[in-house]
């Protein structure tokens, strides 16, 4: 790394400097954001009031430098709040939410700035701009309109108030889910109650209890503990207890201090009001203005078509599971807390392997080495560990370089679950690629997961699902890190349509099923041996195990999301739950108990930006499966007899036409430039084992 690390308030570092995360304190956040907001405001006012004809240089470029520093500090504050949350950090972050919301709203409602963009779009200078810069101007004008700039009088006041309220309610929803998850625990004193649970999970539970000075085993709702209990614990009562705690998080059925019902009601009302202010029938219509999909009816039709294709397989999946549970497990009635357990037993019987057996072959260091090798084969870049400050001992930094040693960006990995860390897996950007007068700012990206940490001084073990998650997130990371777009406003995370942003991530998942790739990721924790072909064949045979049920579940979530956002006003929590029940009656085969409160912890919808957009996962999966099909079509036999899908020309075309272009053109154009045609659903159905005619 060639960049130095600076200054007294780390968040005020120049955009060219790396951040000293270890030095960031809660008390740094508000002063830094206030100072940077002031500087950015002044730059905007100067650009908006300039008497000179609007040009790229005196308008967009004049605002970029202060905006870059502000956005970076804001992102870092949010990132730290999500991965090392403390009461002090949370208070500091929440204190700044109104500041950040008010500033964003002020920019969006700045009529003079909007007029300057309009003037530039109408001027001869616009025609001389590159297509990327023209797209940035066009998207900015669209976003101004969607930010309420054309509103007048009380409507402008209402819009600003609405934006501030949404920011605060969204943050409260997220906090409630985190706190409800972190604060629940169960102490088990009898080890017999944990029969069937993998040894490393038991060891982690024992260590967690010992850390609190308690005898026995501490069970929690973080996924590295919760999921193995649900899959493997023979004790049905224990599974029932954890299931109920998990699906009632942040609701009146759990700890009422964290009940998210009012947050859901507020957000739906605020979103509907925002849409109405901007002249849209509902929030879904507003959101789809920035998507590949054209309308809510189109999305609903897509989802229902997918459900119809998946339903025959799902019916068969469920019938087989129910028969097996009754005959082999003595479960005449298959309860929701039995589903994962019975499914794992059926898969073990049918394919003669267990998830825990597979995990022994995948240590985190070996998986990372293999992932980095895949990234090199695909994109021709190296990831090398570098010694720079991080926010937690679990986090590590890597320099991304090409074959000539040119630094392309920095990737931070934070892979383990812990208290005070938001659940799930995600990628976010600290700094986007930007070329400016003094040189080039390369991207800085965070990749965050919640895997089980190492136990007993041994290397962490990853399940195959963990590996898929890691590859998925690495696709997002590469999309940002390997951009050749020099304008931040056309970066992948800034300008790619939301329902296409999952293409690079879901694309990467396919490599987790390739024999040559999976073998390179493996090294048994005890023997160092790679995964045997026999075990891989069993894993591959089980790839589409219950894919019908899994597809219906994703469609259920997506339909629910779209339908609650197609109303012209908010819904009360009873109507929200009724909508979910109606969706389940339409597409689901497994109906949860009446006390299940899934929406109350559905952070994707209410705190993660996926409101009226959850369908994006399935929409983009059509794109990603079809993109990977190009690699399958170009594959050739490798020296060891495996299928080599890393055809050099196909890799280069994918990098050039999809990854490197970021958001510099519409996603549909990028896909067609790579594939030579519009996307087809055929590859997704084939990969999912659903390539048959629906009844």
Instruction: Count Cα neighbours of 655 within 13 Å in the Cβ-side half-sphere.
Output: 18
- 116, two tokens: 């300057």
Tell how strand 381-386 and strand 395-402 pair up: antiparallel
The percent of the chain in helix, strand and coil, each rounded to the nearest 5, is 60, 10, 30
pLDDT digits (tens, 9 = 90+) for 573-599: 999 999 999 999 999 999 999 999 999
Tell how strand 444-451 and strand 407-416 pair up: parallel
Q: What is the phi/psi pair of residue 380, to 5°? A: 70, 30
Which residue, 342, 303, 383, is CA-closest to 553?
303
Rounded to whole angstroms, how far apart are CA atoms 144 and 44? 14
Instruction: Report residue 4's pLDDT band, with 50, 70 and 90 as the boundaries.
Output: very low
Instruction: Report residue 638's pLDDT band, with 50, 70 and 90 as the boundaries.
Output: confident
The 10 Å CB-count burial string (b at 16+, else e) for 580-616 is beebbeebbbbebeeebbbbbbbbbbbbbebbbbbbb
Cβ(248)–Cβ(258) below 8 Å? no
- 132, two tokens: 């990327």
When pLDDT is averaged across residues 475-485 and rounded to a whole number, the result is: 98
Laid out side by side, the sheet with 444-451 consists of 381-386, 395-402, 407-416, 444-451, 426-431
Give the rounded percent of residues in the chain with a pLDDT score beyond 90: 95
Instruction: Count Cα neighbours of 312 within 13 Å in the Cβ-side half-sphere.
Output: 11
User: Considering the entire predicted model, what is its pTM?
Assistant: 0.92
Residue 641: its pLDDT value, please?
73
> Tokens 């209990």 belong to which residue?
229
DSSP state of 613: T
Rounded to whole angstroms, how far apart are CA atoms 692 and 695? 9
Residue 104: its pLDDT value, please?
96
- 126, two tokens: 């616009």
∠ CA 606-450-419, nearest 5°, is 80
Rounded to whole angstroms, how far apart are CA atoms 414 and 636? 36
Residue 691: its pLDDT value, please?
77
Rounded to whole angstroms, how far apart are CA atoms 544 and 550? 9
When pLDDT is averaged across residues 112-122 and rounded to a whole number, the result is: 98
Cβ(467)–Cβ(584) below 8 Å? no
pLDDT digits (tens, 9 = 90+) for 504-532: 999 999 999 999 999 999 999 999 999 99
Can you list the alpha helix ranges (DSSP code H) found in 248-295? 261-277, 283-287
DSSP class per residue in 283-316 = HHHHHGGGSSS--HHHHHHHHHHHHHHHHHHHHH
pLDDT digits (tens, 9 = 90+) for 429-459: 999 999 988 899 999 999 999 999 998 899 9
Cβ(403)–Cβ(680) below 8 Å? no
Partners of 18 in the beta sheet? 5
Q: Which of 473, 509, 556, 657 is catalytic?
A: 473
Rounded to whole angstroms, how far apart are CA atoms 37 and 102? 10
pLDDT digits (tens, 9 = 90+) for 612-631: 999 999 999 999 999 999 99
Partners of 363 in the beta sheet? 461
Per the rule left: phi > 0, alpha: psi between -120 and 50, beta: everything else, 354 is: beta
The CATH number assigned to the domain with range 10-108+110-146 reads 1.20.1050.40
Instruction: Report residue 692's pLDDT band, with 50, 70 and 90 as the boundaries.
Output: low
Helix (H) or strand (E) holding 397: strand 395-402
DSSP state of 58: I
The domain spans of the chain are 10-108+110-146, 184-249
Instruction: Report residue 2's pLDDT band, with 50, 70 and 90 as the boundaries.
Output: very low
494 contacts: CB under 8 Å, gap ≥ 6: 432, 488, 663
Q: Mean pLDDT score of the chain, rounded to an integer? A: 95
Active site residue 175: no
Rounded to whole angstroms, how far apart are CA atoms 638 and 606? 46
Rounded to whole angstroms, how far apart are CA atoms 527 and 473? 29
Rounded to whole angstroms, how far apart are CA atoms 494 and 482? 15
The 10 Å CB-count burial string (b at 16+, else e) for 621-652 is bbbbbbbbbbbbebbeeeeeebebbbbeebbe
């Amino acid at each position: 790394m060639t960049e130095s690390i600076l200054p007294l308030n780390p968040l005020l570092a120049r955009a060219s400097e790396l951040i000293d995360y270890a030095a960031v304190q809660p008390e740094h956040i508000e002063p830094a954001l206030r100072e940077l907001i002031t500087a950015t405001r002044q730059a905007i006012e100067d650009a908006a009031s300039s008497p000179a004809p609007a040009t790229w240089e005196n308008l967009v470029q004049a605002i970029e430098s202060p905006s870059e520093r502000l956005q970076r500090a804001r992102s870092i504050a949010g990132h730290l709040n999500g991965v090392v949350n403390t009461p002090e950090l949370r208070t500091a972050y929440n204190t700044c939410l109104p500041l950040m919301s008010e500033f964003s709203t002020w920019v969006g409602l700045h009529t003079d700035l909007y007029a300057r963009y309009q003037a530039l779009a109408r001027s001869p200078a616009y025609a001389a701009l590159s297509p990327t810069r023209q797209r940035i101007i066009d998207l900015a004008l669209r976003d101004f309109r969607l930010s309420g700039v054309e509103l007048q009088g009380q409507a402008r006041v209402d819009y600003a108030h609405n934006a501030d309220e949404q920011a605060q309610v969204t943050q409260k929803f997220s906090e409630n889910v985190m706190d409800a998850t972190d604060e629940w625990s169960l102490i088990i004193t009898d080890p017999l109650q944990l029969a069937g649970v993998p040894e490393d999970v038991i060891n982690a539970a024992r260590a967690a209890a010992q850390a609190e000075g308690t005898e026995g085993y501490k069970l929690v709702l973080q996924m590295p503990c919760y999921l193995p209990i649900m899959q493997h614990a023979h004790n049905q009562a224990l599974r029932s207890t954890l299931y109920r705690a998990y699906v009632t998080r942040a609701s009146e059925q759990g700890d009422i201090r964290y009940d998210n019902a009012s947050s859901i009601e507020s957000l739906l009302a605020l979103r509907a009001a925002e849409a109405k202010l901007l002249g849209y029938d509902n929030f879904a219509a507003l959101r789809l203005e920035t998507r590949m999909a054209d309308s809510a009816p189109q999305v609903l039709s897509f989802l229902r078509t997918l459900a119809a294709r998946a339903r025959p397989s799902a019916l068969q999946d469920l019938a087989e599971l129910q028969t097996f549970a009754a005959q082999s497990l003595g479960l005449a009635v298959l309860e929701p807390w039995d589903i994962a357990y019975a499914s794992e037993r059926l898969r073990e019987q049918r394919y003669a392997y267990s998830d825990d057996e597979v995990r022994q072959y995948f240590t985190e260091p070996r998986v990372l080495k293999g992932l980095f090798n895949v990234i090199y084969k695909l994109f021709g870049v190296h990831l090398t560990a570098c010694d720079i400050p991080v926010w937690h001992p679990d986090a590590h930094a890597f320099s991304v370089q090409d074959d000539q040693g040119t630094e392309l960006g920095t990737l931070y990995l934070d892979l383990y679950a812990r208290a005070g860390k938001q659940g799930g897996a995600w990628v976010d950007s600290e700094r986007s690629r930007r070329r400016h007068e003094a040189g080039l700012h390369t991207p800085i990206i965070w990749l965050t997961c919640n895997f089980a940490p190492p136990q007993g001084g041994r290397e962490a073990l990853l399940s195959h699902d963990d590996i898929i998650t890691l590859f998925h997130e690495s696709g997002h990371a590469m999309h940002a890190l390997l951009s050749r777009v020099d304008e931040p406003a056309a970066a992948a995370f800034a300008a790619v349509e939301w329902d296409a942003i999952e293409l690079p991530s879901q694309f990467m998942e396919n490599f987790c099923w390739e024999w040559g790739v999976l073998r390179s990721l493996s090294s048994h924790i005890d023997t160092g041996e790679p995964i045997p072909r026999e075990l891989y064949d069993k894993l591959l045979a089980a790839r589409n195990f219950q894919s019908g049920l899994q597809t219906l579940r994703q469609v259920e979530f997506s339909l629910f999301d779209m339908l609650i956002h197609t109303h012209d006003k908010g819904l009360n929590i009873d109507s929200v739950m009724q909508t979910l029940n109606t969706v389940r009656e339409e597409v689901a085969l497994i109906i949860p108990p009446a006390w299940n409160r899934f929406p109350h912890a559905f952070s994707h919808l209410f705190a993660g930006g996926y409101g009226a957009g959850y369908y994006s996962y399935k929409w983009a999966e059509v794109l990603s499966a079809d993109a990977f099909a190009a690699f399958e079509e170009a594959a050739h036999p490798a020296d060891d007899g495996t299928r080599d899908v890393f055809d050099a020309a196909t890799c280069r075309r994918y990098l050039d036409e999809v990854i490197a272009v970021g958001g510099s053109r519409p996603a549909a154009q990028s896909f067609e430039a790579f594939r030579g045609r519009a996307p087809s659903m055929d590859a997704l159905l084939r990969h999912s084992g659903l390539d048959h005619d629906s009844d």
